[in-house]
Amino acid sequence: MTSQFLFATGIENSNPTIGHGRVRQDELAKCGHYQHWRRDFELVEELGIPVLRYGPPIHTTWRGVGKYDWSFADETFRDLQRRNITPLVDLCHFGLPDWLGNFQNPDFPPLFANYAKAFARRFPWVQLYTPVNEMYVCARFSGLLGWWNEQLTSERGFVTALKHLVRANVLAMHAIRSVRPDALFIQSESTEHFHPEMPDALAYAEDLNAKRFLSLDLNYGRAVDSTMYEYLLSHGLTKREYHFFRENAPQLRQSCIMGNDYYNSSEYRVKADGSSQSFGEAYGYYLITKQYYERYHLPVMHTETNFAQGPKGDEAVNWLWKQWSNILRLRNDGVPLVGFTWYSLTDQVDWDSALRENNGTVNALGLCDLDRNLRPVGEAYRQLIREWGPAMPTQALYPRLAEVPLSAPLPEKKVKKASLKQIVDLAQAPAGR
């Protein structure tokens, strides 16, 4: 594990389908990455960002069972390695290839594990992975809200998608570790909180605040509470499936960092009828991340945030510094926070509709615009990294860790020396140790 703090950005490879599978929302295409990927990587270098959340487009790379087209990945990952940019590889981001269908398909988890293993064999120098991005969000949008992919609106649809997404993540982690034993997994999951608007909303808010943990509970093999256990079993999870998570997921904890994503839309006000809507920042990243850390006791990385540049031009810059202040406070209070991400490198397209609509609306959320010109927040992030980088080594939190480069294959001796078990042991100790 490197001693450097993991400053990161991302090039989003979301690709869910809408319109009952007729329209593919490919953000790499919408944002012009297929044409401008070399310039995008140059921008990462120019900004001094050492880590890039990035991955191949799953729907064009994974052509069938055991069939892969690595042509685009070969070019792009070779260039990342040449530039010494450390990829945090995002293998499944909200979508599946047409031939595999959607997240209701029980064949998805084992087949995806084979895909992840094939990637790891193809690129053995890669160490950091997010096998399945935002499992809870993907299951909710696809199986419960009817927005993406299977577009179901049922609790059973949600639970089925969730169990398949988490199982795919767990199996993929095992598969990747069979190729690269020192692989590290940064989950990247939505960090949320639901606030009751009135006393009649309390029960609904409590239920939603319990459900937000389900993906990570299953992923880390944590026992869910009795209410959530009954909920899962009532809507499609079997006891055998539940015990799979309890038995297989804990073996991976030593390789895990809890990545959490926080936006201005991550907190919700819950009404008396159970409906909810985001309403901006109330608790903020600090308090909500403390909740998650105290539940899982794993190292933490802030894996996504952004804010739109508005008419004043400084709105995103102010949000960046607000998030950074939260990170400093968390570290000072003993939370082992090892990285931060502005997401993403360029502006996004149709984020305002959560990719539910194909309008071509450009959202000014990036470090750069879609002409690849730096925004004020890009300049601010470059300054932040330059000034704070030398003062933020993760080795300050974990002095027993060996310094090993993230982007190079490790000899067997170094693999053992760089085990994340040392991080996890410290993360599970009382705060302030």
Q: What is the pLDDT of residue 210?
A: 97
CB 421: neighbour CB atoms within 10 A?
12
Q: What is the pLDDT of residue 393?
A: 73
Question: Is the pLDDT reported for residue 42 higher than 80?
Answer: yes
Per-residue confidence band for 132, with pLDDT thresholds at 50, 70 and 90: very high
Question: Is the pLDDT reported for residue 412 higher than 80?
Answer: no
Q: Lowest mean pLDDT of 7-11, 222-226, 336-340, 402-406, name the range.
A: 402-406
Give the architecture (CATH level 2) of 6-427.
Answer: Alpha-Beta Barrel (3.20)
304-322 confidence digits (pLDDT tens) = 999 999 999 999 999 999 9
Per-residue confidence band for 4, with pLDDT thresholds at 50, 70 and 90: confident
Mean pLDDT of all residues belonging to the chain: 91
Sign of the alpha-carbon torsion through 241, 13, 257, 305: negative
Helices (H), 33-150: 33-46, 58-61, 71-83, 108-122, 135-139
What SS3 state is found at 243? helix
What SS3 state is found at 158? helix
CB 12 within 8 A of CB 343: yes
What SS3 state is found at 186? strand
Average the pLDDT over 201-213 and give the result: 97
Show the tokens assigned to 194. 């639901």
Show the tokens assigned to 252. 């991976």
Question: Is the pLDDT reported for residue 417 higher than 50?
Answer: no
65-85 confidence digits (pLDDT tens) = 999 999 999 999 999 999 999
Question: Is the pLDDT reported for residue 433 higher than 80?
Answer: no
Average the pLDDT over 252-267 and give the result: 96
Q: pTM for this structure?
A: 0.92
- % of the chain exceeding 90 in pLDDT: 89
Average the pLDDT over 117-121 and give the result: 98
Q: Lowest mean pLDDT of 73-82, 237-246, 265-274, 413-422, name the range.
A: 413-422
Cα–Cα distance, 31 to 360 (Å, whole number): 10
Question: Is the pLDDT reported for residue 283 higher than 70?
Answer: yes
Among the listed residues 255, 260, 264, the one whose alpha carbon sits nearest the alpha carbon of residue 289: 260
CB 85 within 8 A of CB 50: yes
Average the pLDDT over 208-227 and give the result: 97
CB 92: neighbour CB atoms within 10 A?
27
Q: What is the pLDDT of residue 394?
A: 65
Average the pLDDT over 360-385 and give the result: 98
Q: Lowest mean pLDDT of 114-118, 260-264, 303-307, 407-411, name the range.
A: 407-411
